Structure 1
Amino acid sequence: MKIAVEGCCHGQLDAIYTHIQQLETKNAYKVDALLICGDFQAIRNHQDLQCMSVPDKYKKLGTFYKYYTGETVAPILTIIIGGNHEASNYMWELYHGGWVAPNIYFLGHAGSVLLNGLRIAGASGIFNKHHFQIGHYEKVPYVSGSMRSIYHIREYSVRKLSLLPSADIFLSHDWPQSIEHHGDLARLLARKSFLRSDIQSGELGSPPLMGLLHTLRPQWWFAAHLHTRYAATVVHEGVPAPAPMPVQNPDEIQIDDDEFDGPPANAPTDAPVQAAAVRNPDEITLEEEEDAVEAPPAPPPVASETHFLALDKCLPQREFLEVIDIAAPISTTDAPLLAFDPEWLAICRAFHPWLSTTRQQPAFPAEAEARALVAQERAWVDANVKADARGALPIGDCQTFKMTAPGPGSEGANKLRQPPWYTNPQTEVFCRMLDIPNKINPPPTLPSSARSPSPPPPTETAIGA
């Protein structure tokens, strides 16, 4: 399969699809699917903008709404995760995953699907130690704190992902902590010298993601967030990590091809690290998003590699997209097959009792108990979730896209207010498929006297103001 991978989207869907079409014409090939590593910005209308944690000057409607309303259709199957600049209300509607627009599938806050048999897993958001071990307490309307904490990854998601048997491709917005030491660090610092202090202090990246990288050992790991292309290779041998800051070659040619990010590339590279980290001026900084925590223990020796690739955001002259070839277990002559991962469905069923919608996160079961629960639920999935003739569980047979919020132009006087939250029919049908309660956005419970014989569909249900 040929799979295109994009770094940060920032609402530039039109430009990304156009670039892929140009590559297809130039190279005489066909891209089968597109993966986007966060900051997607699925803005349906102006009210969604009020749920995106960015300064007002960055609150622009963009063009996603055209894909949402059906004015435009994505020309290629697109799989996305969330970053730290999203319409978090919409992504919460699809916490378990679903179509944000026709042909554009969101993996959820965490998720795993099968694309022509390839297991593609992913984690949305970024790491912050203050919110990692709490529940999903945030509710619309968000206050300033919850508008930020909602996109901080939770331990609940990481524990679920760690129970997967493996992964072929993993998507994250954050970089795994210390991944920079597995590639050309000197070149990275030549391009992004403001990262030096965070690298020196060990504060760059997400410790839980590095733990997942060693646990799942995917063939490919793609990320974004830092607005630069960076390749690395992790050899899973349990060897000690490289020295934190190798001495740079004073004769190396310094390259400065990014006029927006960081100090000039010809600045001295052997200067002492300053006490305060210099932040990326091109990144929308709202608070200290990454805190130093103890790194996970070293993994046991294994014999495999993970190829890590971070990509830039979609702008001219940026390295924001890569096309890779990867062998897939299933070959299709037309559209690729996007299917539920039965292992993930079993994990979702097994761990649903621990999904907290308050600040309090119940203690998780020990790993052996958790894996036993997943094995038990895998048997339930095999017996109760109907597969097709190929033995697959096509997502389109269960979840189909439906608009919940209106498109732009109908907000009226409420244009600058946060929207109500909506019961998403895709979340409803996912929960029914697994026979679990919908804790995310259940329909309102009306008194029996107020119920109509034919209640409106979930897509029309809105609660709150």
Structure 2
Amino acid sequence: MKIAIEGCMHGDLDNVYATLLHLQQVERTKIDLLICCGDFQAVRNEKDLESLSVPPKYRSMNSFWKYYSGEKVAPFPTIFIGGNHEASNYLWELYYGGWAAPHIYFLGFAGVVKFGSVRIGGLSGIYKSNHYHLGHFERPPYNDRDIKSVYHVREYDVHKLMQIEEPVDIFVSHDWPVGITDHGNWKRLVRDKPYFKEEIQDRTLGSKPAAELLEKLKPPYWFSAHLHCKFAALVQHGDEGTFLYFFLFFL
């Protein structure tokens, strides 16, 4: 099975799909599935833009609406999680997961699906400690405060994922597990992103709940986005013998 991984989609489905179709031709291969690690921006109409937590000048319809309306059809099955720049009113309608458009599936705020023989888990949103222990109190139409908190990860959703007993082959989160920089070339990372250095030293770069899920679930592959840079990490879980687990963090 060939699986393509996209970092932050930002609603630009047309270009992403066109790139993958071109890759299929060049590589003479077939892509079976596309996974997006957040900031998918499933904007159906201009009303959805009001729940998109970005400055007004950056609010754009982009191309998801074409796939929602049926004008176009996704050329590959697509699975995505939510990030911190989403049409939050629409994703709230699909809290437990569901079809956002034909061939395009939202994993929900926390969920697991099976595609063929591959089990895929995901956690939407980003971590903010001041909202983590609260419930999902936000309701559309969002005010200026709630539009910035609706996508914050909640303990309730993480707790559901912590109950998983069957192995998960791929896990997807929007922000990185905190401490993952210990397992890759962090010096090269801070050369490219020098403002990450203080956060790495303070252990604030990334998500504590994601790190807990990493330790509990131990998936062979973990993909994240959010920070708009590439970083590869190799984690060895010592209590599990000599098995090696690979975690790749994409743009």
Contact residue 217 and residue 305 of structure 1 kept, 8 A: no
Structure 1 residue 223: Cα displacement = 0.3
The match for 1:220 is 221
The match for 2:125 is 125
The match for 1:171 is 172
Deviations 1:20-39 (A, max 9, x none): 11111111110100000000
How many residues are treated as equivalent by the alignment? 249
Identity between Structure 1 and Structure 2 (%): 51
Structure 1 consecutive aligned stretches of length 4 or more whose deviation exceeds 4 Å: none
The match for 1:192 is 193
Is 1:311 aligned with 2:220?
A: no
The match for 2:240 is 302
CA distance in structure 1 between the partners assigned to 2:65 and 2:96 by the alignment: 22
The match for 2:235 is 234
Structure 1 residue 305: Cα displacement = 2.7
**Where does 1:236-385 land on structure 2 (aligned, <5 Å)?**
236-237=237-238, 301-303=239-241, 304-312=243-251
CA distance in structure 2 between the partners assigned to 1:22 and 1:182 by the alignment: 34
Structure 1 residue 189: Cα displacement = 1.3
CA distance in structure 1 between the partners assigned to 2:18 and 2:244 by the alignment: 33
CA distance in structure 2 between the partners assigned to 1:118 and 1:76 by the alignment: 16
Structure 1 residue 129: Cα displacement = 0.6
**Where does 1:127-146 land on structure 2 (aligned, <5 Å)?**
127-146=127-146
Deviations 1:415-463 (A, max 9, x none): xxxxxxxxxxxxxxxxxxxxxxxxxxxxxxxxxxxxxxxxxxxxxxxxx
CA distance in structure 2 between the partners assigned to 1:196 and 1:147 by the alignment: 29
Is 1:209 aligned with 2:210?
A: yes
Structure 1 residue 131: Cα displacement = 0.7
Structure 1 residue 190: Cα displacement = 1.7
TM-score (norm 1): 0.53
Is 1:31 aligned with 2:34?
A: no
The match for 1:115 is 115
- Amino acid across the alignment from 1:110: A
- Amino acid across the alignment from 2:175: D
Structure 1 residue 90: Cα displacement = 0.2
Higher share of residues assigned helix: 2
CA distance in structure 1 between the partners assigned to 2:182 and 2:152 by the alignment: 24
Structure 1 residue 99: Cα displacement = 0.7
- Compare relative contact order (CA 8 Å, sep 6+) and give the higher one, 1 or 2: 1
The match for 2:181 is 180
- Amino acid across the alignment from 2:150: I
Higher share of residues assigned strand: 2
- Amino acid across the alignment from 2:67: Y
The match for 1:153 is 153
Structure 1 residue 307: Cα displacement = 1.2
Ranges in structure 1 where 5+ consecutive residues have no aligned partner: 238-300, 313-465
CA distance in structure 2 between the partners assigned to 1:11 and 1:33 by the alignment: 18
CA distance in structure 2 between the partners assigned to 1:167 and 1:121 by the alignment: 7
SS at match of 2:232: strand
- Amino acid across the alignment from 1:223: S
Deviations 1:379-410 (A, max 9, x none): xxxxxxxxxxxxxxxxxxxxxxxxxxxxxxxx
Structure 1 residue 89: Cα displacement = 0.4
Ranges in structure 2 where 5+ consecutive residues have no aligned partner: none
TM-score (norm 2): 0.97
Structure 1 residue 306: Cα displacement = 2.4
